[in-house]
Amino acid sequence: MPRYAQLVMGPAGSGKSTYCSTMVQHCGTLNRSVQVVNLDPAAEHFNYPVMADIRELIQVDDVMEDPSLRFGPNGGLVFCMEYFANNFDWLEETLGHVDDDYILFDCPGQIELYTHLPVMRQLVERLQQWEFRVCGVFLVDSQFMVESFKFISGVMAALSSMVSLEIPQVNIMTKMDLLNSKAKKEIEKYLDPDMYSMLQDNSDSIRSTKFQKLTEAICGLIEDYSMVRFLPFDCTDEEGVNIVLQHIDFSIQYGEDLDFKEPKELDEEPANLNYDEIFQNKGNS
């Protein structure tokens, strides 16, 4: 049977750990077994149990304290992830070979890991070799996305990971529960945006002609190919959390191999079937 994986990605502070915790609790109410793997070597704490923790393999603090390396925080994290890529056997051994796994991979927030570094792409390829169906889940903070130009920046970050990883991806606006009522109404237009209308609304604030042309080109790319859309995520809304999970399950075809009986019998029955006679015959037998 296939195995399933979510790569939970997004900038630092976008709510990746909260997302994982919420999904674990929600799936628990559905009697679904979901495990979490921490892939952030700089993580300090999280509110859920993990089946594997990259800090058992390598930690950013240890790398930064090594006098022979002399890395800062970002360089140290990149070094840790490249070390991890050279030691995928550790992850394979930790995950085991249980069928029908459903695992959330809580990834680091450095955007360069999803743009020009090959580490995450290599991870995806290795997971696929282990028969995982992988979906990217890219998170952005809704409080950051309420302004047009910040929204475009967030869209380009999500688009970058989509192009780099080449896997199904669900993009999510997190922390919707922290928005006031006015901001919630304002952000609705960013969930399924009309980029050209957004550009026209902000054309007066663009003074540079070159910047205007660049913005038009970016908006055209996003709008013409319909490549990025967002789902709202409120960790206090069970129905909303379930909708997000359904989108992800659909993208990786979760559950299609489960045995179930399709309701086709009713369509195949004769139109004038006498149910009273059937039950009477069963009672006599």
pLDDT surpasses 90 at 38? yes
* Phi, psi at 3, each rounded to 5°: -120, 160
> Where is pLDDT greater, at 16 or 219?
16
For the four alpha carbons of 186, 189, 191 and 196, in that order, the dihedral sign comes to negative
- Which tokens is 224 given? 């013409």
Domain assignments of the chain as residue spans, ordered by start: 1-192+228-250, 193-225
Inter-CA distances, 37 with 46, 56, 80, 106, 227, Å: 11, 12, 16, 6, 28
- Asked whether the predicted pLDDT for residue 125 surpasses 90, the reply is yes
Instruction: Tell me phi and psi for residue 234, to 5 degrees.
Output: -115, 110
256 or 138, greater pLDDT: 138
pLDDT of residue 163: 87
* DSSP class of 130: T
Instruction: Give the pLDDT band of residue 53 (cuts 50, 70, 90).
Output: very high
Domain 1-192+228-250 has CATH 3.20.20.100: no
User: From the CA atom positions of the chain, what is the Rg in Å?
Assistant: 24
170-179: pLDDT as tens digits? 999 999 998 8
